[in-house]
Amino acid sequence: MTQIAHDRLLIIDFGSQVTQLIARRLRELNVYCEIHPFNKVDDAFLASFAPKAVIFSGGPASVFADGAPMPPGAVFGMGVPILGICYGQQVMMHCLGGKVERGHGTAEFGRAYVTPTAAVDPILTGWFDTDDGMGGREQVWMSHGDHVSQIAPGFEVLGTSPNAPFAITADRSRHFYAVQFHPEVHHTPKGAKLYENFVRLAGFKGDWTMGAYREEAIRKIREQVGSEKVICGLSGGVDSSVAAVLIHEAIGDQLTCVFVDHGLLRLGEAEQVVSMFRDTYNIPLIHADESDLFLGALEGVSDPEVKRKTIGRLFIDVFDKHAKSVGGAKFLAQGTLYPDVIESVSFSGGPSVTIKSHHNVGGLPEKMGMKLVEPLRELFKDEVRALGRELGLPPAFIGRHPFPGPGLAIRCPGEITREKLDILRRADAVYIDQIRKHGLYDDIWQAFAAILPMKTVGVMGDGRTYDYALALRAVTSVDGMTADYYPFSHDFLGETATRIINEVQGVNRVFYDCTSKPPGTIELE
Ligand code: XMP
């Protein structure tokens, strides 16, 4: 287990989609925490982890289900503060002698308002102000079917909502707190304050910083890798670049980067990446032009999951080949981020639904006999950027919009052809140029063009055209987990559509995608 000099908080994961957001809120408070799945946390683990406080996450299960996830028995006797969230509250009450009931019309999903039922406790400092326009109540985000119907002995109610009479409960003497809502999500505006109060009550000093993360990550990489060789897949995006620079700092020339040009990159991208890594960072780099291999395998494929899996499989084959060429690399490094993980498998092995098979997640086939080094696996995008700044990467590079591993393949719904990719590349370059010229690049989290699987009729000059339609996408986001479309002005959209159609042969129509995430995803596939 990790040995850390900082105070440690343990998050016991019961499988919620948003467990990692709890960790994020804590890191914002400079608190070191680790997430471990409930089925890996037993009494012995607790004793060796020695947390200063524990949080029980939410989760999809019901305490009534056979084999319902439970915390280890010893946790309540450790004398440390505990905070239970949603399922975490229910399981806490269940274990400590309270009662949980099935929904029966009392389920709550989405926004709810909590009002205080007792004098404001220190866990709620900053809540229920009467002068903030909320009339002494607070907005929270609920998502529960079951609910607590009787609190455990020693607990009292601090806040209530119309469908959750025990929305906020506390056993003040033991510092056990339990809430029915999710304070970690943005839709609970004062949720961060609740975590701040909790860690303050638990005595955390707030000494966990990105500098500390860097040192710790370097130490872990050295420990994991020893004197073995590592190859790192560079995609040209910020994540794999930050991972490469971090690993290079840890193990120097034991690292070789492999930049796979799958023929699905943006205009001029391969040249930029190769020059930055070879010339600026002096990191050994193999530039593998494998576009024929990838595009050949993708010919005629239009199913999004088949595309992703094909690309993932070929990446692994190509890495395998190059790992052998650098003389037996034992490790493969990847810039996998937390959002990649949560949408592919549950971060900590618990139950979580698959939305997309991200090409860089899921482990390596046995045949490769390589182990993964993924130093960014617990970080969100903006935290990776902070780490990149910490490592001294150029600000313009760190500020680049994310680019997915499967590249333009997932921006080309339907069949992929070289002709479509070529049109897409040129249109995307015009779109990004427009965004930069209007000074909007840094306000947008990610922007790109996608080529649609349809042709439409147009008229140019005095002639008929029958050309491709493009979709433009631009979103704001904090971490890629949720996103909203960017509200361009009509003038900007009109000017951009005109430029693209004038400058890129093969396009005669441009749409703007106004879908948020959810219900959409950021990429089209
Ligand atoms: P979605 O489309 O899932 O995208 O809303 C969220 C963020 O992840 C990026 N993305 C990927 N990144 N491998 C990656 O490295 C992938 O397979 C992948 N799929 C999506 C996407 O560009 C967005 O920033």
pLDDT at 469 over 70: yes
Q: For the chain, give the mean pLDDT.
A: 90
- Pick the more confident residue, 351 or 463: 463
Greater confidence (144 vs 26) lies with 26
Mean pLDDT of 185-194: 93
- 261-273 pLDDT, tens per residue? 999 999 999 998 8
Residue 276 has pLDDT above 60, yes or no: yes
For residue 284, give the CATH number of its domain: 3.40.50.620
- 478 located within any domain: yes
The alpha carbon of 393 and the centre of ligand 1 are apart by a number of angstroms equal to: 22
Q: Which atom of ligand 1 is nearest to the CA of 521?
A: 5
- Confidence class for position 279, pLDDT limits 50, 70, 90: confident
For residues 82-111, average pLDDT:
88
188 and 78 in one domain? yes
Q: Would you say residue 21 has pLDDT above 60?
A: yes
The answer on 262 and 158 residing in a single domain is no
Kindly state the helix (H) or strand (E) to which residue 49 belongs, with its residue range: helix 43-49
Whole-angstrom Cα distance, residue 30 to residue 447?
31
pLDDT at 359: 56
d(CA 436, CA 430): 10
Spatial contact of 359 and 310, defined as CB atoms under 8 Å apart: no
Active site residue 86: yes
- The region of weakest confidence among 101-115, 153-167, 503-517 is 101-115
Distance 240 CA to ligand 1 centre (A): 13
184 is catalytic: yes
Same domain, 237 and 130: no
Protein residue with its CA nearest to atom 9 in ligand 1: 404
User: Could you tell me the pTM of the whole model?
Assistant: 0.69
Atom of ligand 1 nearest to the CA of 355: 3
Q: How far is the CA of 124 from the centre of ligand 1 (A)?
A: 37
Nearest CA to ligand 1 atom 16: 358
* pLDDT(465) > 80: yes
Q: What is the pLDDT of residue 341?
A: 61
pLDDT computed for residue 266 by the predictor: 96
**Could you tell me which residues are beta bridge partners of residue 141?**
111
Give distance in angstroms: CA of 270 to centre of ligand 1: 19
Q: Is residue 518 part of a domain?
A: no
Total domains in the chain come to: 3
> Of 354, 370, 398, which closes a domain?
398
Is residue 417 scored above 50 in pLDDT? yes
Looking at residue 276, the DSSP 8-state letter turns out to be I
User: What is the 3-state secondary structure of 418-471?
Assistant: HHHHHHHHHHHHHHHHHHHHCCCHHHCCEEEEEEEEEEEEEEECCEEEEEEEEE
Confidence of residue 154 (pLDDT cuts 50, 70, 90): very high
Judge if 149 and 219 occupy the same domain: no
Considering 147, 182, 262, 322, which one is annotated as catalytic?
182
Angle CA 383–384–386, to nearest 5: 60
Model confidence at 2, pLDDT cuts 50, 70, 90, reads: very low
Tokens coding 16: 């919620």
pLDDT class for 38, splitting at 50, 70, 90?
Answer: very high
Share of the chain above pLDDT 70, in %: 92
Output the pLDDT for position 361. 41
What's the average model confidence in pLDDT over 25-54?
Answer: 94
User: Which pLDDT score is estimated for 103?
Assistant: 64
Tell me whether residue 428 is in a domain.
yes
> Is the pLDDT confidence value at 169 over 60?
yes
Tell me the chain's radius of gyration from C-alpha atoms.
25
pLDDT category, 382, cuts 50, 70, 90? confident
Q: Where is the domain boundary, 370, 398, 426?
A: 398
User: For residues 399 and 447, which has the higher predicted lDDT (pLDDT)?
Assistant: 447
DSSP 316-346: HHHHHHHHHHTT---EEE----HHHHHTTS-
The pLDDT, as a whole number, for residue 366 is 54
> Ligand 1 site: residues with CB under 6 angstroms?
339-340, 343, 356, 358-360, 402, 404-406, 446, 480, 517, 521-523
Q: Give backbone dihedrals phi and psi of 493, rounded to 5 degrees, phi first.
A: -65, -45
Q: What residue owns the CA closest to ligand 1's atom 14?
A: 404
pLDDT at site 186: 86
So what's the pLDDT on residue 450?
98
Tell the residue number behind the tokens 């809120």, with chain if given. Answer: 25
Question: Are residues 266 and 348 located together in one domain of the fold?
Answer: yes
340-353 residue pLDDT tens: 665 544 433 444 45
Final residue before a domain boundary, out of 168, 202, 236? 202
Alpha carbons 123 and 176: distance in angstroms, whole number: 10
Are 24 and 161 found together in one domain?
yes
Identify which has the larger pLDDT, 5 or 180. 180
Across 493-507, average pLDDT: 98
Same domain for 388 and 448, yes or no, is no
Tell whether the model's pLDDT for residue 339 goes beyond 80: no
> What is the pLDDT confidence band of residue 215, given thresholds at 50, 70 and 90?
very high
Mean pLDDT, to the nearest integer, of 78-88? 97
Q: For 210-239, what is the mean pLDDT?
A: 92
Query: What is the average per-residue pLDDT within 207-236?
Result: 92
Residue 138, CB half-sphere, CA atoms under 13 Å: how many? 28
525 assigned to some structural domain: no
pLDDT at 299: 98
Q: Which residues are CB-contacts of 362 (< 8 A; sequence separation ≥ 6)?
A: 312, 344, 345
Shared domain check, 472 and 434: yes
Q: Domain range spanning residue 452?
A: 417-512
CA nearest to 60, candidates 38, 82, 76: 38
pLDDT of residue 134: 72
pLDDT at 185: 92
Cα–chain-centroid distance for residue 378?
8
The pLDDT score that the predictor gives to residue 362 is 42
pLDDT at 146 over 90: no
- Give the CATH number, domain containing residue 41: 3.40.50.880
Based on the fold, state whether residues 139 and 258 are members of the same structural domain.
no
pLDDT of residue 346: 43
Q: Which of 234, 311, 340 to mutate to test the pocket of ligand 1 (most atoms within 8 A of CB)?
A: 340
| Annotation marks residue 33 as catalytic | no
Strands 285-289 and 331-333: unpaired
- Encode pLDDT of 111-136 as tens digits: 899 999 988 799 999 999 877 777 78
Sign of the alpha-carbon torsion through 273, 278, 281, 284: positive
Q: Which residues pair with 477 in a beta bridge?
A: 483
Closest residue to atom 3 of ligand 1, CA basis: 521
Q: What is the mean pLDDT of residues 150-167?
A: 93
How many residues are there in the chain? 525
Q: Which of the two residues, 20 and 54, has the higher pLDDT score?
A: 54
pLDDT reported for residue 354:
56
Do 235 and 335 belong to one domain?
A: yes
Candidate from 191-195, 378-382, 388-392, 404-408 with smallest mean pLDDT: 378-382
- Per-residue pLDDT, averaged over 436-450, amounts to 97
* 316 and 337 belong to one structural domain: yes
Q: Determine, yes or no, domain membership for 284.
A: yes
Q: How far is Cα 153 from Cα 138, in angstroms, rounded to an integer?
A: 26
pLDDT tops 80 at residue 165: yes
How far is the centre of ligand 1, averaged over its atoms, from the C-alpha of 374 (Å)?
A: 16
263, 144: one domain: no
How far apart (Å, rounded) are the C-alpha atoms in residues 177 and 169?
6
